[in-house]
Structure 1
Amino acid sequence: MIEMIIEQRRRSLGGGLEVGRVLPFAKRRMVGPFVFFDHMGPLDVAAGVDRTLDVRPHPHIGLSTVTYLFSGEIMHRDSVGSHQPIRSREVNWMTAGSGITHSERFEKARAVGDRLHGIQAWVALPVEAEETAPSFSHHAGDDLPQWNEAGVHGQLIAGEAYGLNAGVKTHSPLFYAHLDLQNGATAEVPEGYSERAIYIATGAVKVDGTRHEAGQMLVLGPGVSRLRADGSATVMVLGGEPLGERFLFWNFVSSSRERLDQAAADWKAGRMKLPDGDSDEFIPLPDTPPAPPPSMS
């Protein structure tokens, strides 16, 4: 059975770029370790677009960001020295741990135009890894196993599923895959994980005979094992083992509210190094402070 259907909520990031926010959701904060899920675009960008489209330097703690594109190109720079474009069907996996800053610039779009379309997810770190040293890795080719079978083209982005292992280093059990389905094709949904979901990026699918459309995340119960394309469709399947409660403020994730306070104070005071090669501007801390810790009684 489907436990919950989450509709994306569209919001502007500025410069004409819209995202569909899926996670966190008021009634479902996480799916396995996935604590954040944004559907970017699709957006056709004309050459010469101004820099308001860019995502200026900003900080993270306690998570890994996972950027995955269906089309387009984004230039990533961060405070551990990474300078890496990401293109379609590649993965930028950035582990913030104790703290990292990065920017996302649309340099190709500005030069020649582009069609931007993709997913950015955040994966919370287990408590013992929340303060790990920050790192960045880029993955393509054999690191991201692909397969074609009965009208389904699949690519494993991270974790273990479909008898395959991705080359991305993860800190807890999870799976994340991209499936393109022809009309009428059936795909298995990986089992063996406590929490699982399907996100329909384009088209429509049927699960247990009921049709669901683009922009919906289906949080699955233990009985669901497959989906069927109703027309051509692109879906993301994801899940893993839960990590326990996580608190979020702005770009920070932690099992401790006090740690969010510290991260906010560090950013406001300028104690977090800006990305190499992109340190002339940054996104300021929002005016809304982190929620206070619960009172002791």
Structure 2
Amino acid sequence: MNNNEPKTDLPAGIEMVIAPRTSDIGSFEVQRLLPHRRRRMVGPFIFADRMGPSMLGPSNPLEVRPHPHIGLSTVTYLFDGEIVHRDSLGFEQTIRPGAVNLMIAGRGIVHSERSDPKALEEGINLFGMQIWMALPHALEETDPAFINYGAADLPAVTENGATVRLVAGSFRGETSPVETATEAVYADITLPSETRITIPADYEERALYPVFGSVEIRGTAVEPGELLVLVPGQEITVRALQDARLVLLGGEPMDGPRHVWWNLVSSSKERIEQAKEEWKSGLFPKVPGDDDFIPLPE
């Protein structure tokens, strides 16, 4: 079966399985889970990339030059390695494993993501997730902002040997300090072999991404690397067949469809066209100390 064809032999409780697409961001490949032609969003989550694991060094650094965003929040979370974030608000922040960089683009922001040259000398094993959350209509043109949350700021829930670190939202009575524009959950779940975790049906739209390690859902083994969209309203119990790690995404349906073009998200095609012209004309704000940029794709 072609990877792009829908699977028909799904475990009970799984509505859809999305195979990732490979995308090149310059120094290494990423696995793109969302958006997909069969599923544009899960709650507010409109874009999801798995980065790595990839070993970076002086000859292959991460060099994502300044580029624009509108109409979304980016949530960067690493399992390993580090990234230096710089933006047009003047923030410079190195993100490391377990921390969160939350960047609210709103009406427009520009940022870059690069490797620290000193860290590259010893090598950086970059591994993590970069996820975009669409902003609700009322906040699409809000002022841009940037907030870093340290690893110690994120609460963890332990259940039957499993550990759930809350990147955003709530789980089993614990709530992350990471502020989101809509009700949503984003969790990093560690499952030692033979442990179980029950995913509650708190939100209408939910998806699980097994990062590594085989798991079992209702008697069916599931290999890592594909996004599992869950059936609404049903709790799902996941058992680890070996040490495993999963990402949970969920939320209520967004207030209407969104258009995505390059790094721009909006409920209005006209707004995206406006942003394209503004970037092409040099009207977006600059990243202090970084005059480079990614040209508008043709």
The alignment's TM-score, normalised by the length of structure 2, stands at 0.92
Q: Specify the alignment match of 1:76 in structure 2.
A: 85
SS of the residue 1:97 aligns to: coil
Q: Which residue of 1 aligns with 2:5?
A: none
Q: Does 1:112 align with 2:122?
A: yes
Contact 1:49 1:109 in 2 (8 A): no
Partner in structure 1 of residue 206 of structure 2: 196
- Measured after TM superposition, the shift of residue 206 of structure 1 is 1.3
Tell me the SS of whatever aligns to 2:25: strand
Alpha-carbon deviation of 1:45?
A: 2.0
Counterpart amino acid of residue 81 in structure 2: G
Unaligned runs of 5+ in 2: 1-12
Distance in 1 (alpha carbons) for counterparts of 2:30 and 2:141: 29
Within the candidate set 30, 35, 46, 1:35 is matched to 46
Contact 1:2–1:224 (CA<8 Å) still a contact in 2?
A: no
Instruction: Check the 8 A contact 1:45/1:109 in 2, yes or no.
Output: no
Cα offset, 1:225, TM superposition:
2.5
User: What pairs with 1:1-297 in structure 2 (closer than 5 Å)?
Assistant: 1-15=13-27, 17-46=28-57, 48-51=58-61, 53-107=62-116, 108-221=118-231, 222-243=233-254, 244-278=256-290, 280-287=291-298
Aligned positions, number: 283
Match of 2:120, SS state, is helix
Shift of 1:70: 0.3
The alignment partner of 1:200 has SS state of strand
How far off is 1:230 after superposition? 1.4
Give the match's secondary structure for 1:14. coil
Partner of 1:295: none
Amino acid at match of 2:239: R
Which residue type is aligned with residue 285 of structure 1?
L
Give me the identity figure in percent: 48
Asked if the contact 2:217–2:238 (Cα under 8 Å) also holds between the matched residues in 1, the reply is yes
After superposition, the Cα gap between the structure-2 partners of 1:44 and 1:142, relative to the gap in structure 1 and judged at 3 Å, is: closer
State whether residues 72 and 106 of structure 2, in contact with CA within 8 Å, keep that contact through their aligned partners in structure 1: yes
Instruction: Give the letter aligned to residue 268 of structure 1.
Output: K
Q: 1:141 to 1:88 in 2, by over 3 A?
A: closer
Question: Normalization by structure 1: what TM-score?
Answer: 0.92
User: Any unmatched runs of 5+ in structure 1?
Assistant: 288-297
2 CA distance for matches of 1:50 and 1:207? 39
- Provide the aligned C-alpha RMSD in A: 1.3
Q: 1:184 Cα shift? A: 1.0
